[in-house]
Structure 1
Amino acid sequence: METFKVGLIRVLTTEDQEVLLAHGKTIMEIFPGIEVETKCIPDQYEGIHSEELCRIAIPKIVETAKTFQDADMLIVSCADDPGVEEIRKEIPGIPVTGGGETTAALALKYGEKIGVLGITDYAPAAYRRLLYGKMILGKPDGVDSTLDLLTPEGRASTLKKGMELKEQGAQVIALACTGLGTIGIAGELEETTGLPVIDPVIAEGLFAYFEKVRRSSHRIGQRQ
C-alpha cells in the first residue's frame, strides 16, 4: 500500500513526546497507509484559547508548515484552523486543512442542532461559518486552556457540559478543541449523552484518508 505523508502541526508547544505525537498516533492507528510527521510551533505553551493567542500563533504556524519535506498534505491540528488559509496561499498545490472545518463538516451529517463543545466563550471561525444558525455553544466550567482538560476536574466538567448540550436539544456534539481529542473523551461523551460525538483529530485524519483514496482512485482510473 502506497504511503500518504501528512505533515501535522501542533499549536501547543511541548517537549513531552507522548503529548506531541498523540494526534499523529491516533490518525495512523485508525487510517491505514498514512504516515504522520508532527511538529509543534515555538513559545505557545498554553496552545490557543483566545483570539489574541490565535493571532500570535499564525505566523509561527506558517513558518512551521514550510519546514515539512515531501508532505502530501498538511494539517493544522487545532479547531480554530489558525494559519490554514495563510498556508494555502504560501504553499499552493498542497492540500491543507484543520480540525475545525473538518469537524463542522462531519457534524452536519448527524443533525440540524449541533452542540459545539470547546474551551472558549466563542465558537471557532469554521463552526460559525459552516454551522450558522445551527449551533448550541457550550464551554465546560473551569476549563480555560488545553492544560485544564488534563485534570480530573476538567474531564468531569466536560462530561457535564455535554449533558447540558443534549438537554438544550443538541443532536450531535462537535468538539471544538483538539485537546479534547488528546484526552480521548469522545467515546465517554457518547456513552454519557447517547449522542454521536465528532472528534476533531479523527475528523482531520478522515479528510487526509479521503485525500489519499481520492488520489489513488484517480491513478487507477487513468490506467483503465
Structure 2
Amino acid sequence: MTRRPRILVINPNSNEAVTEGLRQAVKPLSYAEGPEIVCTTLAEGPFGIETQEHVDSLAIPLRRKIEATNDADAFVIACYSDPGIHVAREGTSRPVFGIAESGVLTALARAERFGVIAIKSRSIPRHLRYLRQMALMDRLAGERALEMSVAETATGDKTLERMIEIGRQLRDLDGAGAIVMGCAGMARHRKPLEEALGIPVIDPTQAAVTMAIGTIAVG
C-alpha cells in the first residue's frame, strides 16, 4: 500500500487555540487523494510570538523538530515572521514553507499592491525588514496593526470588527488590492473579512499549505 504524503504544519507558539485555528483553516485543502495535513504545536515555544527575541529563540527548536520528523514530505512554519526558516531549510532536503513568504507571494498573484494586518505596531518593523530582503517593498501598499495580542486574535470577540476597520483603511487609504493576514492566529476570520472588504484576503497558512500540496503533487 502506497504511503499517503504528509504535510506537517508547525505552530511555533505554545498556544493550542492557535493550532486549532490552523486545523480549521486547512480543512478545505484536505481531500481523499491528497496529502495528509497535520498541525502540531511546538511546546517549547512562547505563548505568543510578538518580539524579535521570540523569533530568534525559535530557530534551533524548529530545526530540531524538522530534523527529527521522518514521516513528513513538506513542512510549513506557521508564524508570520517565518522564524528559523533558513536554518530549518538547511536541516532537511524536503521543502520548508514560511507562511509570510507564501502569503505575500500569493497576494502578488491577486493584486498589484497588497496590505498587511499586523497584530501590534512593534511587529511592523520586523515584517518590513523581511519584505526588504525579498525586494518587495514597492508592492506593499501599507501595513497597519490591530494592537492586540496573538491570543486575542485567536479567541477575542472583537477581533473581526477590528480587522474590518483596519482592512478598510488599507483598502481605502493605502490602496491595497489584496490583504494578507499577518498572524496565524487570525485564521478563522479570513472568509468574513473578505466578504466585508470585497477584495481578496489571504490566509498565509492556507497559502503555504497550498504551495506544499502543489510541490508534492508534481514530485
What range describes the TM-score normalised by the shorter chain of this pair?
A: 0.7 to 0.9
Give the direction of change, closer, same or farther, for the CA distance of 1:42–1:2 in structure 2 (3 Å limit): closer
Question: What is the SS of the residue equivalent to 1:79?
Answer: coil
Q: 2:184 aligns with which of 178, 186, 191?
A: 178
TM-score by length of 2: 0.86
**Segment of structure 1 superposing worse, 45-54 or 70-79:** 45-54
> Matches of 2:162 and 2:191 in 1, distance apart?
15
CA contact (8 A) 2:194 2:200 kept: yes
Alignment deviations for residues 174-201 of structure 1 (CA, whole Å, 9 cap, x no partner) = 11211111xx111111111111111112
**Segment of structure 1 superposing worse, 54-63 or 30-39:** 30-39
Aligned length: 208
> Matches of 1:115 and 1:43 in 2, distance apart?
31
TM-score by length of 1: 0.84
Q: 1:157 aligns with which of 162, 168, 186?
A: 162
Residue 147 of structure 1: how far off its partner (Å): 0.5
- % identical aligned pairs: 22
Q: Give 1:121's aligned residue.
A: 124
Matched AA of 2:143: L
Q: 2:143 aligns with which of 95, 115, 137?
A: 137
Higher relative contact order (CA 8 A, sep 6+): 2
Question: What is the SS of the residue equivalent to 1:133?
Answer: helix
> Matches of 1:146 and 1:61 in 2, distance apart?
19
Question: What is the SS of the residue equivalent to 1:121?
Answer: helix
Counterpart mapping for 1:141-220 below 5 A: 142-143=147-148, 145-149=149-153, 150-168=155-173, 169-181=175-187, 184-215=188-219
Residue 23 of structure 1: how far off its partner (Å): 1.9
Q: Provide the aligned C-alpha RMSD in A.
A: 2.1
Q: Is there any run of 5+ residues in structure 2 with no aligned partner, and where?
A: none
> Matches of 1:24 and 1:68 in 2, distance apart?
19
Matched AA of 1:121: I
Q: Is there any run of 5+ residues in structure 1 with no aligned partner, and where?
A: 216-224
CA contact (8 A) 2:46 2:54 kept: no
Matched AA of 2:12: V
> Matches of 1:28 and 1:212 in 2, distance apart?
18
Residue 25 of structure 1: how far off its partner (Å): 4.9
Residue 43 of structure 1: how far off its partner (Å): 3.5
Matched AA of 2:138: G
CA contact (8 A) 1:31 1:206 kept: no
Residue 46 of structure 1: how far off its partner (Å): 2.5
